[in-house]
Chains A and B, each alone.
Chain A
């Protein structure tokens, strides 16, 4: 039996051996190369990116399209403040007094509002701006490298946009991180400058002087390259935006002549928002108009909108009139953002901007009305109709959602898209202004006035008259503990606080003007526990640098971790 086996085997052996070896060789050669696999998804390798059709233009387009809409910080909807550039508006504005937050534990801006531990260098909140801004800067650097030192004609627009955006990012960073404004100390540290050629991880924080020189040099390049650029919408910067950025830069540098002249150049071709535009219930501050110089927009396909019921978006925080959607932090979970009661009270009744905020006087009617009855509903509707086309929704938000049980001082400046009140996915797909001609008017006025007060007052008055026919100069000059500013500058500051409320300027102005903050006063609507008065600019406005920077960049110093005040301050009398 075994002999047979061996014999048969021998007969077969050679031919089989050959065929098997051949089969093996074949199998091997078929497979003998490990595949080179490229990603086939929503990310690509550098090579795939550069080989794609229209690659350079796509890179340029990303500089503005990535400003918002994606979860750039965390990659998921986990953090409702992770919606991009306008989140920083809120972060900065709640650090002062102009916005009164809710005291609920679900208020996502509490850390900035209450000087929470999250501002310390080991926390996500601290990492947030650093990650966002330096990712944006990295994208600018990529475009600048691709364009090269002498961009060819077809790359000039892209290079110009990249330089303009980079300057804008560094301007924000410099103002968020420096402990002293340029005007006060040119040697104060800002943040490390990372350009397309930075390689050394040991990269010290640039001084105000070096930083603002760098910003101006970028803006100069942007000005050159964008000279003939025509944009198709306001979501991309053009020459006017570069002028506007220069105006902002010179304002911070207190180079009044240049600030004035660039503000003037910037405003060419734009017209200020009218009362109807300002208070439009369908398009108020959610759609570009002739006053918008630069903006961004949430798109219906943005992860900020499609994920987590659109709750992790700008609209969820700032759009109040979506009670019917049962979604949104402001409308349905926590309660809306409100204007500081004192600031509201200083807005004269004749100033139409007052209508962006619900008058606490309305609460007298509302709290007496019984919404269960037809009469009550009619009374509520009548009282709120001047403000909103969704009176019962706003009533619900103010009285049921907000622990305050009132509608007084609720902001309705930022409106749901097209007046949609039920479907938040649509309501939150809004545009947000990044630069308006009104800001240029105010820079022009301030800069002019700092050279020649009379001219400044004239410009300011002209501006203010468009908001309040009865405007009189000299009624809005509260010092907020810093009496060294001129009364004129205080007056401009008040206009800026009212005109640009919620648009991200509050902290910058407080730091630039060296103001303190006042949250404790008779009738304050800041929650107990956070009614803090600070006689000098609060330390928490000088953001800490996250540990992932200082641990790996040995040349980088840090700002002190701020300490929250203990308990409410005695009431300030204005």
Chain B
């Protein structure tokens, strides 16, 4: 398909002439693959200038000059054919399986892969078909070497994409996300809004030579998405339908799930405290620990005979204990009943997913078109999360005259998202369903239960007949106070509150192409992307915190209006063996975001969730507008000699509204060269089909600051009365800031061996980023913590290898395997002097704002010569003879060494002079970089007798992650505030006088530093993920043609099937730093079956 992209150009530049007529021949050219006529194939009478092209029906006729009757038929992507001319010919072209000269989508155009000197990975529709994704970015991990995705919310219809890094982490403080371009225009919306079936290809530009034309925004790489277009052929209809299910892919940690065992564990900590810590007798300690445990946990869910303890002297659950506990109410006649519930079971479910796509494409000799419509409906894995999407696209080009061509590409998306109103994945608390269910102790109920008249436990119902969820509020729910995240119950909140988002997106592109001559073309392309979203959030008047105001309704709308205008002048000409093409252009991009919100309280009924039906309509409202503007001038020259030696150069001058007007413009450039060694005469190894050396170097920029006005002081406004707004200081600006610049070198070899059975690319890169937009800290007494300044350098270096091999290639069976691996290394070269003057480096929690890390991640150590993501933690030294956790100290930094009076934890320690149990005397050490050593993917595809099978894996080797979840599950109770959380089974192996060989500290109430943030919780970040599989069967043509169908394929496919990591429950794909962000939607498992029909 993609080979036909340049068909038009080929047809236009075809050099054919007229000559004297001798023999009249005619015929039809069809494609072997689908039997369709081939439009625009060129027919040339060998040895003459006589030729023509096929029409919309694949037909041609021409007159052969006398004595000439050999025809050469060529078409891009097809094997050329020479046949003898005769009347009524039926010519069948076969696809060129060995065609290496794929076309690569590059900045502002396409290029033949053999001529391309940069580094790009192209993922075509065939490759994408092996995945089921709502957001196409998820199909790229493991497929594109050097590309990683971290974090991200994959909830159905989530508006943000995962955090994508290409070839390392592009910046320390500025944007590290690649620029996404859809059909030529920057696209900052959610990729969920583009149906995967509409995508022809995704091209990932990784080096400066390919990205330099995007100037100020290309430093983190560029992802180019091209939608499908029609071919010049008879209408072809494709229908694709699939049905399946989403289920939970995240695993649970190994926790203590048995409620009896949970009490035993909690008891053990308290018993140790009273017995060992307070020196009480065993009997007293047993008594105190039992009573302390119940009062701290709040809930008892076992009944024991009068006068007996829940946990016996042996530390085990009383054998007479029965599950369930009755408690008479003090304030009513009810009897409460406590019993644990399975929170995970109640929280997660399997969601149905269905997807339908239909498209018709085709064209005439003057036009091409692609029309599609799609519908997706998927249910999430937790209640109140679903996504429904309608998509429609019309893309067409028309040659108005021989020299004027117009085109349009209009896509419209309407979606409805139901979101979990109570799932704030960025906060670890009662509003994060996943966190909540993974951390609540295994004794707590979901509902408030009471005993009915017959003494049977029933869920209590409220005045409206609804089940009462337990929020842990004493008096309102159970009489006792629940220790774990009191006042929260995400399951209850989900039932009563809701959040819906309706989105509309219109993406329209218009283009004009003017051919001045066959070598000079002007193009103007303008794109408008307009997104409108309607949010509606309702907080119940029946239940929860908004009862006192009789419910609350929050509405907000945003409009994002993006316009991009590109004008280019394209030149292409051959002078003998010298081929030159050049592009000069101008681009202007503007994004305007407007936001409007209102909140009202006091609703009439939950049936009308509108502000007009609310009493206090003035409760809260707001609006704002944001705008961002970029402009650039650019040029590129491509040159090759005899398609053997290639050279190119590009230049762009860019301006961004994120900088002061005096520092706006910057220049970016690149040069590249390639050498097709196999075309040299001296090169005789005939098993080598292609061998290309390529090198490129260039500069790209990054203006991606989290705040658009970092170049000037900012004041926040707040009201001092109903009529006055007052400014107060908020941020320090720096007028001098400008782009950070990345200079990237890429050296690579492309090869194809053994009749193209083994192909691959090996590349090395070195990216140095200078003038980093650094967060330059000032003493906080200045009224702010810092400002941005262009100080500091860093470097990413790495190698990438991609291999594809056809192991079996016969008429009926092809079996191929693919493998890619990438290694990346980060090095900090230069840091601002004031940040490292005192301590030789600095520690900060703040890592790149786009990295997906949230607040509270483990602190990192930054020093010149060091890497990014060096954890800065205490160093665990095992346990002492009492089972207490020990931490190392450095005698030069700790008061224990006698050289300093105050413990210095701002400087990285170097010596392990001794150990201490007091964290206030321990030193912090900078660890090895937590970034992985290597990552990539592998897979295989088998086609045999109509069956097709493909499986893909992605993996990561090496690297560390701070396993915060595990650390929390391993925590003892420091005070009663810690009660109620779940325990990890590893705690059963804690130190005791009888189990003194363990490395896990004693489990004792009150110990403050058993689980200090230390290297003990740095877990291996290696993983292997069974990312996708597809198995399909295409019915034989002999069968399908009888019912007038070209192709019928039935298939099953799945995504995120299985996952292995160092510890069950740990998913290193959350983040580079720690498992802080926790969402049920880190990745969902999707399995579907479907049918594909073409006619």
- Establish whether residues A34 and B780, one from each chain, have CB atoms under 8 Å apart when the complex forms: no
Considering the complex, give the chain A residue whose CB is closest to the CB of B333.
A372
Given known A-B contacts A104-B977, A134-B783, A552-B779, A65 and B729 have beta carbons under 8 A apart: no
Nearest 3 CB-CB pairings of A with B: A105-B977, A400-B475, A138-B783
Q: Which residues of B contact A155 (CB under 8 A)?
A: none
What's the minimum C-beta distance from A288 to chain B, rounded to whole angstroms? Answer: 15
Q: Which residues of B contact A78 (CB under 8 A)?
A: 427
20 CB contacts below 8 A, A to B, read A6-B518, A9-B403, A35-B657, A37-B627, A38-B709, A40-B625, A40-B626, A45-B714, A46-B712, A104-B481, A105-B977, A121-B906, A138-B729, A138-B784, A326-B547, A370-B330, A372-B332, A547-B906, A548-B780, A560-B902
Chain B 518-550 near chain A by CB (<8 Å), digits 1 or 0: 100010100000000000000000000111110
Beyond A37-B627, A70-B718, A556-B779, 4 extra complex contacts between A and B, CB < 8 Å: A3-B17, A37-B628, A43-B715, A327-B548
Contact of A142 with B by CB under 8 A: yes
Contact of B782 with A by CB under 8 A: yes
User: A333: which of B473, B515, B625 is its contact (CB, 8 Å)?
Assistant: B473
- Establish whether residues B516 and A46, one from each chain, have CB atoms under 8 Å apart when the complex forms: no
Given known A-B contacts A8-B401, A35-B657, A333-B473, A65 and B726 have beta carbons under 8 A apart: yes
- Establish whether residues B626 and A326, one from each chain, have CB atoms under 8 Å apart when the complex forms: no
Contact of A574 with B by CB under 8 A: no
What's the minimum C-beta distance from A17 to chain B, rounded to whole angstroms? Answer: 6
Tell me, in angstroms, the Cα distance from A311 to B546 when the chains sit together: 12
Q: Which residues of B contact A4 (CB under 8 A)?
A: 402
Q: Which residues of A contact B656 (CB under 8 A)?
A: 34
Contact of B124 with A by CB under 8 A: no
- Establish whether residues B548 and A44, one from each chain, have CB atoms under 8 Å apart when the complex forms: no
Contact stretch, chosen from A54-62, A338-346, A433-441, A462-470: A54-62
User: B720: which of A20, A27, A64 is its contact (CB, 8 Å)?
Assistant: A64
Q: Which residues of B contact A104 (CB under 8 A)?
A: 481, 486, 976-977
Q: Which residues of A contact B588 (CB under 8 A)?
A: 31
Chain B 495-531 near chain A by CB (<8 Å), digits 1 or 0: 0000000000000000000111110001010000000
- A-B contact number at CB 8 A: 294
What's the minimum C-beta distance from A256 to chain B, rounded to whole angstroms? Answer: 32
What's the minimum C-beta distance from A381 to chain B, rounded to whole angstroms? Answer: 14
Contact of B10 with A by CB under 8 A: no
- Establish whether residues B629 and A34, one from each chain, have CB atoms under 8 Å apart when the complex forms: yes
Chain B 330-366 near chain A by CB (<8 Å), digits 1 or 0: 1111000000000000000000000000000000000
- Establish whether residues B715 and A44, one from each chain, have CB atoms under 8 Å apart when the complex forms: yes
What's the minimum C-beta distance from B365 to chain A, rounded to whole angstroms? Answer: 11
Contact stretch, chosen from B92-100, B125-133, B241-249, B830-838: B830-838
Chain A 395-406 near chain B by CB (<8 Å), digits 1 or 0: 010011101000
Given known A-B contacts A49-B727, A563-B920, A42 and B716 have beta carbons under 8 A apart: yes
Chain B 702-739 residues near chain A, CB threshold 8 A: 708-709, 712-722, 724-730, 733
Chain A 401-450 residues near chain B, CB threshold 8 A: 401, 403, 422-425
User: B522: which of A20, A120, A556 is its contact (CB, 8 Å)?
Assistant: A20
- Establish whether residues B473 and A326, one from each chain, have CB atoms under 8 Å apart when the complex forms: yes
User: A105: which of B52, B483, B713 is its contact (CB, 8 Å)?
Assistant: B483
Chain B 1-22 residues near chain A, CB threshold 8 A: 14-18
Q: Which of B474, B590, B708, B777 has the most CB of A within 10 A?
A: B474
Q: Which residues of B contact A333 (CB under 8 A)?
A: 473, 486-487
User: A203: which of B622, B779, B918 is its contact (CB, 8 Å)?
Assistant: B779
- Establish whether residues A69 and B718, one from each chain, have CB atoms under 8 Å apart when the complex forms: yes
Contact of A261 with B by CB under 8 A: no
Contact of A546 with B by CB under 8 A: yes
Given known A-B contacts A20-B514, A333-B473, A35 and B715 have beta carbons under 8 A apart: no
- Establish whether residues A37 and B708, one from each chain, have CB atoms under 8 Å apart when the complex forms: yes
Contact of A152 with B by CB under 8 A: no
Q: Which residues of A contact B779 (CB under 8 A)?
A: 192, 201, 203, 548-549, 552-553, 556
- Establish whether residues B834 and A16, one from each chain, have CB atoms under 8 Å apart when the complex forms: no
Tell me, in angstroms, the Cα distance from A103 to B1008 when the chains sit together: 16
Considering the complex, give the chain A residue whose CB is closest to the CB of B515.
A9
Q: Which residues of A contact B718 (CB under 8 A)?
A: 42, 62, 65-66, 69-70
Considering the complex, give the chain A residue whose CB is closest to the CB of B334.
A372
Residues of B within 8 A of A (CB): 14-18, 52, 278, 295, 329-333, 401-403, 427, 473-476, 479, 481, 483, 486-487, 514-518, 522, 524, 545-549, 565, 567, 569, 586, 588, 590, 599, 601, 619-620, 622, 624-631, 655-657, 661, 664, 708-709, 712-722, 724-730, 733, 777-786, 834-835, 837-839, 842-843, 859, 901-903, 905-906, 918-920, 975-979, 1006, 1008
User: B780: which of A44, A110, A371, A549 is its contact (CB, 8 Å)?
Assistant: A549
Residues of A within 8 A of B (CB): 1-6, 8-9, 12-13, 16-17, 20, 23-24, 27-28, 31-47, 49, 52, 58-59, 61-62, 64-66, 69-70, 78, 103-107, 110, 114, 117, 120-122, 127, 130-131, 134-135, 137-139, 141-142, 191-192, 194, 198, 201, 203, 299, 301, 306, 309, 311, 324-327, 332-334, 370-372, 396, 399-401, 403, 422-425, 529, 546-554, 556, 558, 560-561, 563-564, 567
Q: Which residues of B contact A325 (CB under 8 A)?
A: 548
What's the minimum C-beta distance from A209 to chain B, rounded to whole angstroms? Answer: 19
User: A309: which of B331, B546, B729, B730 is its contact (CB, 8 Å)?
Assistant: B546
- Establish whether residues A403 and B777, one from each chain, have CB atoms under 8 Å apart when the complex forms: no
Q: Which residues of A contact B785 (CB under 8 A)?
A: 548
- Establish whether residues B729 and A139, one from each chain, have CB atoms under 8 Å apart when the complex forms: yes
What's the minimum C-beta distance from B399 to chain A, rounded to whole angstroms? Answer: 11
What's the minimum C-beta distance from B838 to chain A, rounded to whole angstroms? Answer: 5
What's the minimum C-beta distance from A195 to chain B, rounded to whole angstroms? Answer: 11
Given known A-B contacts A104-B976, A138-B782, A563-B920, A401 and B475 have beta carbons under 8 A apart: yes
Q: Which residues of B contact A142 (CB under 8 A)?
A: 729
Considering the complex, give the chain B residue whose CB is closest to the CB of A60.
B726
User: B331: which of A194, A400, A547, A560 is its contact (CB, 8 Å)?
Assistant: A400
Considering the complex, give the chain B residue whose CB is closest to the CB of A233.
B721
- Establish whether residues A27 and B920, one from each chain, have CB atoms under 8 Å apart when the complex forms: no
Given known A-B contacts A134-B783, A333-B473, A372-B332, A32 and B719 have beta carbons under 8 A apart: no
User: B403: which of A16, A70, A141 is its contact (CB, 8 Å)?
Assistant: A16
- Establish whether residues B729 and A106, one from each chain, have CB atoms under 8 Å apart when the complex forms: no
Q: Which residues of B contact A198 (CB under 8 A)?
A: 782
Q: Which of A62, A131, A138 has the most CB of B within 10 A?
A: A62
User: B781: which of A120, A311, A549 is its contact (CB, 8 Å)?
Assistant: A549
- Establish whether residues B515 and A552, one from each chain, have CB atoms under 8 Å apart when the complex forms: no
User: A201: which of B17, B619, B713, B778 is its contact (CB, 8 Å)?
Assistant: B778
Tell me, in angstroms, the Cα distance from A334 to B473 when the chains sit together: 9
Tell me, in angstroms, the Cα distance from A403 to B478 when the chains sit together: 13
What's the minimum C-beta distance from B973 to chain A, rounded to whole angstroms? Answer: 9
- Establish whether residues A8 and B548, one from each chain, have CB atoms under 8 Å apart when the complex forms: no
Tell me, in angstroms, the Cα distance from A46 to B715 when the chains sit together: 7
Q: Which residues of A contact B661 (CB under 8 A)?
A: 36
What's the minimum C-beta distance from B317 to chain A, rounded to whole angstroms? Answer: 25
Considering the complex, give the chain B residue whose CB is closest to the CB of A65.
B720
- Establish whether residues B780 and A130, one from each chain, have CB atoms under 8 Å apart when the complex forms: yes
Given known A-B contacts A134-B783, A548-B777, A43 and B473 have beta carbons under 8 A apart: no
What's the minimum C-beta distance from A145 to chain B, rounded to whole angstroms? Answer: 11
Considering the complex, give the chain A residue whose CB is closest to the CB of B979.
A105
User: B473: which of A299, A372, A401 is its contact (CB, 8 Å)?
Assistant: A401
Given known A-B contacts A45-B713, A561-B903, A5 and B976 have beta carbons under 8 A apart: no
Tell me, in angstroms, the Cα distance from A78 to B428 when the chains sit together: 10
Given known A-B contacts A47-B712, A299-B719, A131 and B780 have beta carbons under 8 A apart: yes
- Establish whether residues A425 and B549, one from each chain, have CB atoms under 8 Å apart when the complex forms: yes
User: A39: which of B479, B567, B709 is its contact (CB, 8 Å)?
Assistant: B709
- Establish whether residues A41 and B402, one from each chain, have CB atoms under 8 Å apart when the complex forms: no
Q: Which residues of B contact A139 (CB under 8 A)?
A: 728-729, 783
Q: Which residues of A contact B905 (CB under 8 A)?
A: 121-122
What's the minimum C-beta distance from A267 to chain B, rounded to whole angstroms? Answer: 27
- Establish whether residues A42 and B729, one from each chain, have CB atoms under 8 Å apart when the complex forms: no
